[in-house]
């Protein structure tokens, strides 16, 4: 019997102990029949490049990268895909021939895949994007690729301005001030801030008029219970919402595809992860 080659993948980040990626890839292994090891590695902030290069020099074939190393991963990649180039951020690495390291970004395509799966997004829609950090930047090109127009609002306005001016070459995007957010006249409102991690809600929306039946809410973050952002929406009568668990599985599926050329069944993995949730939003 031929010996099956065992692949080794790692997730690098700080912190990473909370990550659901190992369980997601375990499900991928089950549903594709591919055998591999997938582990997590917490890296000290000044050690990222050394540790990653050592991993690829020895037994590593691929890696995922999470906060706070996505920009550093972009810099250490020898070549990058166009979507990584557009966001200057890399969440997946692959070793090619001659020890060349390829950097890709599957966050944006993962988000779009999930929004499509949920039937939450269509061409030419109006989107409000809350947040102007790495998570927001990662998804903007994909949203613009649908010819959607994006208003971006952020606690620090100058950061929203900066992001809008960088991405305006790819489509319709403008920064707006919190005080100018009077009516939520959007098809989709996306939370890309890290406020919910600290159980804070985005205060941006408190003084706005909005029509929950016309607007979908999507949080890039996820939790076993409703995130504060989605809780706010639900408290105001909203019923069309989802957290970022589907995006997490989808970006992992695209990473898996980059490594192995096989796209796993995303929906079945989301169903398994949502099985024990205290709420259902799909
Ligand atoms: P990430 O890579 O996860 O996006 P980041 O680059 O640090 O992390 O960005 C975090 C985002 O969450 C920013 O938009 C930040 O707003 P500022 O640019 O004003 O810092 C936003 N954010 C974090 N905590 C927040 C809070 N309590 N309320 C509102 N926005 C918050």
Condensed to tens digits (0 to 9), the pLDDT of residues 68-105 reads 999 999 999 999 999 999 999 999 999 999 999 999 99
The residue nearest atom 8 of ligand 1, judged by CA position, is 133
Topology adopted by domain 7-105: Rossmann fold (3.40.50)
Gap from CA of 194 to ligand 1 centroid (Å): 5
If you measure from the C-alpha of residue 65 to the centroid of ligand 1, how many angstroms do you get, rounded to a whole number? 19
Domains of the chain, by residue range, sit at 7-105, 108-245
The percent of residues in the chain predicted with pLDDT above 70, rounded, is: 93
What pTM does this model have? 0.93
More confident residue, 257 or 276: 257
Q: With 70 as the cut, is the pLDDT of residue 202 above it?
A: no
Tally Cβ neighbours within 10 Å of residue 267. 12
pLDDT for residue 145? 95
Which pLDDT band holds residue 194 (cuts at 50, 70, 90)?
confident
For residue 59, the model assigns a pLDDT of 86
- What does the angle CA 175 – CA 177 – CA 182 come to, to the nearest 5 degrees? 115
Residue 198 reports pLDDT greater than 60:
yes
**CATH code for the structural domain at 108-245:** 3.40.50.720
Residue with CA nearest ligand 1 atom 27: 195
* CB contact at 8 A, 87 and 105: yes
7-105 against 108-245: fold identical: yes
Q: Give pLDDT, residue 5.
A: 47
Report the catalytic residues. 70
Contact by Cβ (8 Å): 111, 251: yes
The pLDDT tens digits of the residues spanning 209-246 come to: 888 899 999 999 998 889 999 999 999 999 999 999 99
Contact 155, 99 (CB under 8 A): no
């Amino acid at each position: 019997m031929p010996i099956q080659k065992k692949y080794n993948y790692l997730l690098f980040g700080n912190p990473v102990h909370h990550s659901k990626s190992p369980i997601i890839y375990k499900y991928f292994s089950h549903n594709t029949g591919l055998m591999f090891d997938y582990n997590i590695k917490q890296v000290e902030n000044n050690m990222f490049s050394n540790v990653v290069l050592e991993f690829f020099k020895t037994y590593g074939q691929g890696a995922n990268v999470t906060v706070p190393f996505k920009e550093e991963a972009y810099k250490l990649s020898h070549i990058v895909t166009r979507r990584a180039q557009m966001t200057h951020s890399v969440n997946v690495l692959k070793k090619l021939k001659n020890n060349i390291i390829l950097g890709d970004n599957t966050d944006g395509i993962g988000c779009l895949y999930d929004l499509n799966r949920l039937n939450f997004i269509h061409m030419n829609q109006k989107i409000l994007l809350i947040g102007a950090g790495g998570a927001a930047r990662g998804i903007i090109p994909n949203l613009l690729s649908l010819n959607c127009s994006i208003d971006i609002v952020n606690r620090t306005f100058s950061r929203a301005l900066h992001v809008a001016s960088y991405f305006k070459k790819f489509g319709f995007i403008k920064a707006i001030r919190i005080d100018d957010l009077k009516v939520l006249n959007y098809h989709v409102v996306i939370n890309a801030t890290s406020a919910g991690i600290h159980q804070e809600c985005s205060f941006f929306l408190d003084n706005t008029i909005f029509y929950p039946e016309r607007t979908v809410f999507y949080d890039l973050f996820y939790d076993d219970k409703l995130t504060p952002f989605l809780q706010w929406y639900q408290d105001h009568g909203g019923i069309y919402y989802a957290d970022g668990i589907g995006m997490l599985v989808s970006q992992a599926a695209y990473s898996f595809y980059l490594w192995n050329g096989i796209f796993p069944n995303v929906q079945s993995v989301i169903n398994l992860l949502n099985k024990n949730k205290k709420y259902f939003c799909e």
